[in-house]
Structure formats: structure tokens, C-alpha cells
Amino acid sequence: MLENKVVVVSGVGPGLGRAIALRSAQSGADVVLAARTEARLAEIAAEVERTGRRALAVPTDITDDESAAALVKAATENFGRIDVLVNNAFAVPPLVDLGEVDLADVRAGFETNVYAALRLTRLFTPALAESRGSVVMINSAVLRHSKRLFGAYKMSKAALLSLAQSLATELGPKGIRVNTVAPGYIWADALREGFGHWAEQRGVTVQDLYDEVAATLDLGRLPEPDEVADAVLFLMSPLARAVTGHCLDVNAGEYHH
């Protein structure tokens, strides 16, 4: 579905970022990988190249103007075109009540979750307009609840959703689509580690905890990274050529929206 396209993925890690990169390559795209951890980028770039597609790993601090501009320069010079930008990078502020959270921590969350996504989208807009490409913002199911301690995180993710919707209106005349994917639980390394910690605290097994959470989801299981990446792939592809300004929830039925 992405034959000979070029996809840029920010915030590439071992979970969803890796899955998006590999799904893009398996669908025919060359991939530009951006994150701070150079060793991780090299590992995932090697996996992409084993699919037969090209990979460019660019160590990047997306909260820094010069570093972000260098990413755009490297991507366009190496591939000559950009078809998709996936803003996958995120930061979770401390899980503290809004009445107590340090405002500096709230600002830091906005720097990564909102301002960096706007920065990259603006920088890549000329190339995306040339290819009539698309942008996908990775959001979170935190949009759908108001659980205590998640207030600062929800603030930034709600702002990211508003950003995506407004950009869809602004960039639509240039032929650029902007959409959002909002995952719930993703059964990857980070969540497994979290479950391990919580299970130990409660004196239960990780499987006990998994079963307890899964029982609250319509499908009775937690989504895997590849399943969320498939939703991203749909929005990147020509199958979604008339879809923009949309938020697609991928949560195995945790919330209905």
C-alpha cells in the first residue's frame, strides 16, 4: 500500500514506533527513523533493511529547532521526497493531581507531545505538499477518560488532538491529510514491565493482572503493537485518501467513541 513512498517516524522505540516502521517497510516504503537513542535507531534500521527497503537513522531531539531541521534536511536529501510523517514521540508527565503537579513538568509534557509535533509538521509541510502526503499523530486513550493522576498527560494529548484537527483544516488545501490514532493499552515491553511492577506490589502474577484488565475490554485481550500499527498504516495509505481530521481509537473495545 506504500510502494516507493517515504515515511518519517519520530520517537522510534521498541514498541509502537518499531512496529510502525516495520509495517511501513513491509508495505513498500523506505523509512526515516528519528529518536534520541542512536543504538536503538541502528537496531530498528537494520530490521527495516532486512525487509528489502531502505532505512535512514537520524538521531534527533524533536524539542530542539536545529535538531528537528537537521532531520528534515537529512530525510529530503537522502530520499528526495517525503510522503508521510508519523508523530509518534511522547512524554508522560508525573502522575500527580493537577492541584499539586509542578507546572514545569506540565510544560515539559507539552514540549514533546504538542510543540514538537507542530514543529515537525511545519518543517515537513513543503515536502508533504509536493507529494500530497499525510500526517498521523499518535495520541492516547487518555482522551477518553478523566482518571485521577492523568490530568497533565490528558491536557497535552487533548491539545495534540486539537492541533491535528486544526492542521487538517489548514493543510487540506495543500493536499495534505492529517489524522490521529488513539491507542489504549499496548502489550509491549513498557507495559509488560509496568504490569510486572504492579503485580509484585499486589502479590499476584502478571498473567493475573493481564486477565483482570483484559476482562474489561470487549475483545478480552490487549492490543499488540502490530495491530495499532495497522491502523496507522490504513490512515497513511490510499485507502484513507478521503479521510482527514479523524481520530481512530484502537483499544480492543475499552472505550466506545
> Would you list the domain boundaries of the chain?
6-186+224-250, 187-222
153 is catalytic: yes
Q: Which of 115, 153, 185, 210 is catalytic?
A: 153
- pLDDT confidence of residue 257: 81
Nearest-angstrom CA–CA distance, 29 and 186: 24
CB atoms within 10 A of CB 216: 11
In this prediction the pTM is 0.95
pLDDT tens digits, 37-49: 899 999 999 999 9
Q: For 6-186+224-250, which CATH class? A: alpha beta
Say what the pLDDT of residue 117 is: 98
| 111-162 pLDDT per residue, tens | 999 999 999 999 999 999 999 999 999 999 999 999 999 999 999 999 999 9
Mean pLDDT estimate for the chain = 96
Per the DSSP assignment, residues forming a β-bridge with 149 are none
Q: What is the pLDDT of residues 226-247, one digit of tens each?
A: 999 999 999 999 999 999 999 9
Encoded amino acid at 52, one letter: G
Q: Residues 20, 24, 26, 29: what is their CA dihedral angle, to the nearest 10 degrees?
A: -160
Q: Rounded mean pLDDT of 16-39?
A: 96
